[in-house]
Copies of this chain bind each other. A is one copy, B any other.
Amino acid sequence: MAENPITALMNPSSIAFVGASNNFTTMGTLQCLNLSTCGYTGEILPVHPRESTVLGKKAYGAIADLPYAPDLAVLVVPTPLVLDMVEEFGKLGTRRMVIITAGFRETGVQGGLMEKALIDRARHHGIRFLGPNCLGIVNTHLPLNITVAPIQDHRGKLGLASQSGTYVAQVVTYLHKNGIVLSKAISVGNEADINLIDCIEYLGADDHTRAIGLYIEGIRDASRFLDVASRVSRIKPIVAQYVGGTEAGARSSSSHTGAMAGPSHLYEALFEQAGIIPVESIEEVYKVGWALATQPPLKGRRIAVLTNSGGPGTAIASTCNKVGLEVPEFSMEMQRQVSVFLPGHASPRNPIDLTFHVDMKALTEEIPKVLFSCDEVDGIIIHGIMDTGFMELLYPLISSVASITREDFIKMMTIGLDKLPAMPDHYGKPLLISSFFGKEDHCIRTFHENHIPTFDAPEKAARAMGAFLGHLRIRQRSHVETRHNGKPLEAAVRILEKARLDGIDEFGAKELLRVYGVPSTREALAGTLEETRLKASEIGFPVVLKVCSPAIAHKTELGLVHLNLKDQDELAAAYQAIRARDQHSPLLVSEMLVGDRELMAGMTRHPGFPPCVVFGLGGVFTEALDDISMRLAPLTRHDALEMMDGIASRLVLDDYRGMRRVDREALGDILMALGRLAIHFPQIREIDLNPIIVREGKPFVADALVVV
């Protein structure tokens, strides 16, 4: 594998900076100022047409004046200057650039053309670049920071790639308050060259990055995204927020980065299939990402909840259950072990509620040790550890009645907290902390220093633990199978060749599906009443009679479908009824398949995405129930099985009210076949199998629509 283009970009030993001056109210100057003061040890070469020094450094009058080709060039200049400067750096020999300047594709057609020219120019010189319209990069391990805001914390573990610059450049204080430390952060801007997928690949291979957070407004190459993210997510947790799935979100993202958004459920499917943990806010990208980056993975779903307060304990337990975690009642033996450290009325059952008391040792050391070392618990959430945050509040009151200095009082009340932070790694179980205090509390500061994640509301800690469960499920996926397509089957090629002009009717659609192993109703074409009678007796009554023409949609509503014809008389009557409305179309005589459930499967295409296979309940209510699952082709068997578990009404597929469990292998074959068909034949625009009738557990396609 070729070296990822970002590696060199994130680790330059020299940087040319064009667009900084000595006026510190401009963005370029602020960025260069950050670069100069962040601890970066490489050489910084400002370029400025008039100033001889910029921010105390020697400035070069033009790019051509630079003494050598720097590893990286940063542009924060007016839009019309960008192209020429890229050309100049190309000639100089620089091969990596960060283009902060905006005004390209995100502004419309003309900007789009300019962006195209920019790409061509860069390619011509073998330049790989980030942006345009981005806010820079951060590498806290080098260190390197070319964003507008100084970095407060270094050598972190969470890698970030974002389609919004703000989430890289404007959250320094926020992250610091929350004890979150980034490893690398990349604002990708318009992704004219280097894109978000490159970032995932880079962060996946980066040793300092232990989890990845993504902010996504739209993905252009879902196929490669799926490929790269699936590989990375087996090794590192990836958390992502997608915001382009609503009308206003799509409109906004298009004028923001020109990203191509798609419906939310498409992205849900993409994330699911790629092993990405979806979140609903940027807060969770950071906080859940940080938790996953710092804590050992969860090995099971049993969570211990320890608090000194019933409300947070109940809220954590309840939220754990909601996200699929268990908060099991402890064994009597465990309860006995825990009870030793509890005051009179406190509950040892799990949640453990110490109730209000001032001594913190049980909460910070004694009980955690029991929980970490036992084999009834996979992860631990603690609420209520605090010292100086509360004591600072109390001191003014205490000092009004006792003569003690603030320092002595705070010191007296400060907790050691020297054992707990080491427990997660020692015992290999994740620990999450909930507290209404922040860094004003010494305990919270201690947790932050030790990279133990803290949450400012009980429910948030529980939801973050839910993400650990999500990651566990991803790790447990069977990854032995690879997605393979094989070659288009000859018989199918012939059917589709024939359908090129007139489209493909139901009979042809089912023939095509049969070539790919999809079982359907036995049936035959007929024209005259005599033919119809003959075919019906060959197939055996009861039968279905319907017109068979790619040109006629909504056959049922038009009265062109007659079900459950029991004998030749009923058949003849149906024939006459159809012919009264349609004199010429061929007719399809099918066996009347009576099953106990109706399912549906299909294939749709979306720009920028691989073919999308869908599955759900069938019949006329498919649309109203809107209970479908999706995967992108090609599908592995694992994907197909996950699709079946992905519908809310999955109970229907089991032994349900006396019905036989659906043959999941057979159903999986149908779903995988749809994926293969879609990949083999790009001319197929859409497939709709509805209903798929389940008879004695076996699925049979009763109606099929293939649009070419």
Beta-carbon nearest neighbor of A358 in chain B: B25
The reply to whether the CB of A449 lies closer than 8 angstroms to some CB of chain B is no
A320–B315 Cα distance when bound, in Å, is 26
A493–B152 Cα distance when bound, in Å, is 76
The reply to whether the CB of A313 lies closer than 8 angstroms to some CB of chain B is yes
Q: Which of A364-372, A605-613, A616-624 is the interface stretch?
A: A616-624
Check if B165 sits within 8 Å of A311, measured CB to CB. yes
CB distance from A267 to the nearest CB of B (A): 11
Check if A174 sits within 8 Å of B456, measured CB to CB. yes
Q: Mark A165-182, 1 if CB is under 8 A from B, else 0.
A: 111001111100100000
Q: Which of B256, B625, B652 contacts A314 (CB 8 A)?
A: B256
Complex contacts, A417 vs chain B, CB 8 Å = none
CB distance from A110 to the nearest CB of B (A): 11
CB distance from A48 to the nearest CB of B (A): 14
CB distance from A290 to the nearest CB of B (A): 14
Complex contacts, A347 vs chain B, CB 8 Å = 252, 255-256
Complex contacts, A305 vs chain B, CB 8 Å = 248, 252
Can you tell how many copies of this chain the complex includes?
2
- Given the known interface contacts A162-B311, A246-B317, the answer about A150 and B396 at a Cβ–Cβ threshold of 8 Å is yes
Beta-carbon nearest neighbor of A625 in chain B: B649
Interface centre among A215, A243, A384, A617 (most CB of B within 10 A): A243
Task: Tell me which residues from 222 to 272 in chain A have a Cβ below 8 Å from any Cβ of chain B.
Answer: 241, 243-249, 251-253, 255-257
Check if A243 sits within 8 Å of B345, measured CB to CB. no
How many interface residues does A have (CB within 8 Å)? 116
A490–B40 Cα distance when bound, in Å, is 90
A315–B216 Cα distance when bound, in Å, is 10
Check if A458 sits within 8 Å of B282, measured CB to CB. yes
A149–B658 Cα distance when bound, in Å, is 60
Q: Mark A526-562, 1 if CB is under 8 A from B, else 0.
A: 0000000000000000000000000000000100000
Q: Mark A303-333, 1 if CB is under 8 A from B, else 0.
A: 0010001111111011111100011010000
Complex contacts, A397 vs chain B, CB 8 Å = 30, 33-34, 37, 150
Task: Tell me which residues from 322 to 380 in chain A have a Cβ below 8 Å from any Cβ of chain B.
Answer: 322, 326-327, 329, 344-345, 347, 349-351, 353, 355-356, 358
Complex contacts, A85 vs chain B, CB 8 Å = none
Check if A459 sits within 8 Å of B282, measured CB to CB. yes
Beta-carbon nearest neighbor of A328 in chain B: B248
The reply to whether the CB of A394 lies closer than 8 angstroms to some CB of chain B is yes
The reply to whether the CB of A651 lies closer than 8 angstroms to some CB of chain B is yes
The reply to whether the CB of A24 lies closer than 8 angstroms to some CB of chain B is yes
Check if B166 sits within 8 Å of A309, measured CB to CB. yes
Interface centre among A167, A344, A400, A436 (most CB of B within 10 A): A436
A460–B282 Cα distance when bound, in Å, is 10
The reply to whether the CB of A523 lies closer than 8 angstroms to some CB of chain B is no
The reply to whether the CB of A501 lies closer than 8 angstroms to some CB of chain B is no
Task: Tell me which residues from 636 to 659 in chain A have a Cβ below 8 Å from any Cβ of chain B.
Answer: 648-652, 656-658
The reply to whether the CB of A27 lies closer than 8 angstroms to some CB of chain B is yes
- Given the known interface contacts A248-B320, A252-B351, the answer about A281 and B393 at a Cβ–Cβ threshold of 8 Å is no
A255–B348 Cα distance when bound, in Å, is 10
Check if A256 sits within 8 Å of B401, measured CB to CB. no
Q: Which of B150, B252, B345 contacts A318 (CB 8 A)?
A: B252
Q: Which of A99-107, A422-430, A672-680 is the interface stretch?
A: A99-107
Complex contacts, A319 vs chain B, CB 8 Å = 243, 280-281
Complex contacts, A246 vs chain B, CB 8 Å = 317-318, 321-322
The reply to whether the CB of A164 lies closer than 8 angstroms to some CB of chain B is yes
The reply to whether the CB of A12 lies closer than 8 angstroms to some CB of chain B is no
CB distance from A413 to the nearest CB of B (A): 9
A351–B457 Cα distance when bound, in Å, is 30
- Given the known interface contacts A150-B394, A315-B282, A318-B244, the answer about A557 and B626 at a Cβ–Cβ threshold of 8 Å is no
Beta-carbon nearest neighbor of A400 in chain B: B37
Complex contacts, A656 vs chain B, CB 8 Å = 620, 624
The reply to whether the CB of A665 lies closer than 8 angstroms to some CB of chain B is no
The reply to whether the CB of A148 lies closer than 8 angstroms to some CB of chain B is yes
Check if B345 sits within 8 Å of A163, measured CB to CB. no
Beta-carbon nearest neighbor of A314 in chain B: B252
A434–B435 Cα distance when bound, in Å, is 22
The reply to whether the CB of A55 lies closer than 8 angstroms to some CB of chain B is yes
List 10 tightest A-B contacts by C-beta distance, closest first.
Answer: A164-B311, A249-B318, A256-B310, A246-B321, A248-B327, A248-B317, A281-B459, A166-B309, A624-B651, A174-B436
Given contacts A252-B327, A625-B627, 10 further A-B contacts (CB under 8 A): A56-B400, A165-B309, A244-B314, A249-B314, A253-B310, A255-B353, A256-B310, A623-B657, A625-B649, A626-B648
